[in-house]
Amino acid sequence: MCKITIFLGLFLTAGCAPSEEWWRDSFIYQIYPRSFKDSNGDGVGDINGITSKLEHLVDLNVSAFWISPFFKSPMSDFGYDISNFTDIDPIFGTLDDFSKLITKAKSLNLKVILDFVPNHSSNKHPWFQKSIQKIPPYDNYYVWRNATFVNGTRHPPNNWLSVTRGSAWTWNDVRQQYYLHQFSYFQPDLNFRSSALNQEMKDVLTFWTKRGVDGFRVDAIPQAFEDARFLDEPVKPNTGLPPDDPNTLEHIYTKNQKETYELVRSWRNHLDAMNGTRKIILTESYITLDELNQSMKYYEYGADIAFNFMFVTGFNNRSTPTDFKDGIEKWLAHMPRGNYSSNWVVDNHDNNRFSQVSVWCITGMKLGWKTRGCRIMRLLIRLDAVQDQLATTSRRGILREHPSSGIIQLALDFQQTKQLGYESTLTTRF
Ligand SMILES: *[C@@H]1O[C@H](CO)[C@@H](O)[C@H](O)[C@H]1NC(C)=O
Ligand SMILES: *[C@@H]1O[C@H](CO)[C@@H](O)[C@H](O)[C@H]1NC(C)=O
Ligand SMILES: *[C@@H]1O[C@H](CO)[C@@H](O)[C@H](O)[C@H]1NC(C)=O
Ligand SMILES: *[C@@H]1O[C@H](CO)[C@@H](O)[C@H](O)[C@H]1NC(C)=O
Ligand SMILES: *[C@@H]1O[C@H](CO)[C@@H](O)[C@H](O)[C@H]1NC(C)=O
Ligand SMILES: *[C@@H]1O[C@H](CO)[C@@H](O)[C@H](O)[C@H]1NC(C)=O
Ligand SMILES: *[C@@H]1O[C@H](CO)[C@@H](O)[C@H](O)[C@H]1NC(C)=O
Ligand SMILES: *[C@@H]1O[C@H](CO)[C@@H](O)[C@H](O)[C@H]1NC(C)=O
Ligand SMILES: CC(=O)N[C@H]1CO[C@H](CO)[C@@H](O)[C@@H]1O
Ligand SMILES: [Ca+2]
Ligand SMILES: [Ca+2]
């Protein structure tokens, strides 16, 4: 029997062969440091807090945990706006605290995965400040473009929109140019076309690898590169959305560019060149079902896990049994040929918390999962005490085999925790 599990994070499924390749058959728990455990009573979770509770992860049979960013940051985006990629924010602790965490994790046979946020830094990062001043090589560390002028009025270089709405460009008065930000204006995009920046980010991987981490979860990978021609993206017809909504555009120039896949391969090679056990790469890309191939392609470029958000974004309380069956099958059908492991993310910090899910996937079942090596999946989610802006609802789900018929059942509860009296249960059979 082999199990797969997830947690507040993601979980992987796989074949049963015990293997050095632990991630193929394991259960990864996401720790959101801010809400996990506060060790010094200042009201914010911290690294020593994590260290003090690692036994809980062992109890849960977790193989690895991924820690959301604890790096130095102005915290305008709860740590996804990093002002020093190789230092720890004092609110979370110190590098010494981190070393103790690693030591204890190793003693408990737990793998440690860090968040790697390559797309952008904080606008408070010294690199950005130097880039504004055009100090080499930092002048080229970010994506700067001249304004366009229409009848004497300054406009951004093109129509690209940020994930957080509005133009993806912000004017800087000092440098007299626009900088690109696919997320908020305080998260300027790093320019991977700069070889110095490219090396700098590899050095970040080296820094943490030497401190004992087992892999990296790569944040927002699709946005790493942009097309160098900076052409307008096509407007989708008839979306009915406001014009500053990013979903009005076809992101053919700002997402999943061919250079981005090459970048992942370069990180794979970089990590492989270091001695020791394989360091895994998990790529985060939110995609629509139509874009599955774009996400799957990261497997072929060195990702061990290309996040599958099907359970997070693909279903809701109106999904039918057929939707679930079709969705799951579709994901499996799109996996590239080769020795890759599927994965099923049940939750993350951008979404509401699952509280409990159990999944069994049985050999020989009619869905044909067996051919993908999936024998048994088991998944447990514990509801953390959470404190973040998105945790307004919790969901519970159970996917189980009916004892006599072998039919797989999935039950999900969508509960609006802040609105009493709201609850719906969906039970599906397939
Ligand atoms: C962890 O694994 C052990 C041994 O397989 C099992 O007895 C135990 O029930 C598991 N715990 C959980 C929380 O799944
Ligand atoms: C990051 O912080 C470390 C430790 O304080 C410091 O040595 C290093 O120069 C900083 N990096 C940058 C790019 O500022
Ligand atoms: C940007 O504008 C500056 C100042 O007007 C000009 O010197 C420079 O050539 C322009 N760069 C490009 C790429 O057009
Ligand atoms: C620019 O000015 C001309 C002449 O006033 C006008 O016909 C044209 O519509 C203006 N273009 C834009 C984009 O506002
Ligand atoms: C890997 O180990 C070999 C032999 O111990 C050593 O020569 C080499 O420098 C190491 N490489 C790295 C990147 O640490
Ligand atoms: C997606 O990949 C599948 C096989 O993996 C292939 O059959 C299909 O043509 C691809 N679709 C697109 C739109 O590229
Ligand atoms: C696939 O990976 C598994 C787990 O590491 C390994 O046992 C198996 O031999 C691999 N199969 C092939 C065909 O490489
Ligand atoms: C489904 O969820 C939506 C949005 O959360 C909610 O408005 C709606 O009432 C729910 N429907 C049912 C049948 O529970
Ligand atoms: C799932 C996830 O980590 N999403 C992150 C994507 O990147 C933006 C900007 O860094 C973050 O705000 C999200 O949390
Ligand atoms: Ca604290
Ligand atoms: Ca980018």
Tens-place pLDDT, residues 383-420: 232 222 222 233 333 344 344 433 333 433 333 222 22
Write out the two tokens for 259: 């250079």
Residues of the chain with pLDDT under 70: 1-19, 25, 289, 316-317, 319-322, 324-325, 346-430
pLDDT for 351 equals 53
Contact call for residues 258 and 195 (beta carbons, < 8 A): no
C-alpha 66 chain-centroid distance = 10
**Cα–Cα distance, 179 to 141 (Å, whole number):** 11
Contact call for residues 420 and 409 (beta carbons, < 8 A): no
- The ligand whose atoms approach the alpha carbon of 206 most closely is 5
For a ligand 7 pocket test, name from 2, 4, 19 the mutation site with the most ligand atoms within 8 angstroms of its C-beta: 19
**Cα–Cα distance, 307 to 285 (Å, whole number):** 7
Contact call for residues 392 and 422 (beta carbons, < 8 A): no
Which protein residues are within 6 Å of ligand 8, measured from CB?
317, 424
* 181: CB partners within 8 A, 6+ apart: 120, 162, 168, 169, 170, 187, 188, 189
What is the strand order of the sheet 177-180 is part of?
A: 144-145, 177-180, 169-172
**Cα–Cα distance, 200 to 336 (Å, whole number):** 31
pLDDT for 86 equals 98
Packed helices 292-300 and 258-272: angle between N→C axes, nearest 10 degrees: 30
| Pairing of the two strands 305-306 and 343-345 | unpaired
Residue bearing the CA closest to ligand 4, atom 4: 151
**Ion ligand 10 — residues with CB under 5 Å?**
38, 40, 42, 44, 46
pLDDT for 26 equals 75
For a ligand 8 pocket test, name from 318, 394, 395, 426 the mutation site with the most ligand atoms within 8 angstroms of its C-beta: 318
Q: Just list the catalytic residues.
A: 219, 284
Residues forming a β-bridge with 31: 67
- The ligand whose atoms approach the alpha carbon of 92 most closely is 10
Task: Classify each residue of 337-350 as buried b or exposed e, where b means 16 or more C-beta atoms within 10 Å of its C-beta.
Answer: eeebbbbbbbbbbe
Burial (CB < 10 A; 0-12, 13-18, 19+), residue 130, is: middle
Cα(255) to centroid of ligand 11, in Å?
Answer: 8
pLDDT for 349 equals 60
Residues forming a β-bridge with 277: none
Which protein residues are within 6 Å of ligand 6, measured from CB?
293, 334
For a ligand 9 pocket test, name from 80, 187, 223 the mutation site with the most ligand atoms within 8 angstroms of its C-beta: 80
H/E run at residue 410:
strand 408-416
DSSP assignment letter at 248? G
pLDDT for 321 equals 61
C-alpha 221 chain-centroid distance = 8
Burial (CB < 10 A; 0-12, 13-18, 19+), residue 227, is: middle
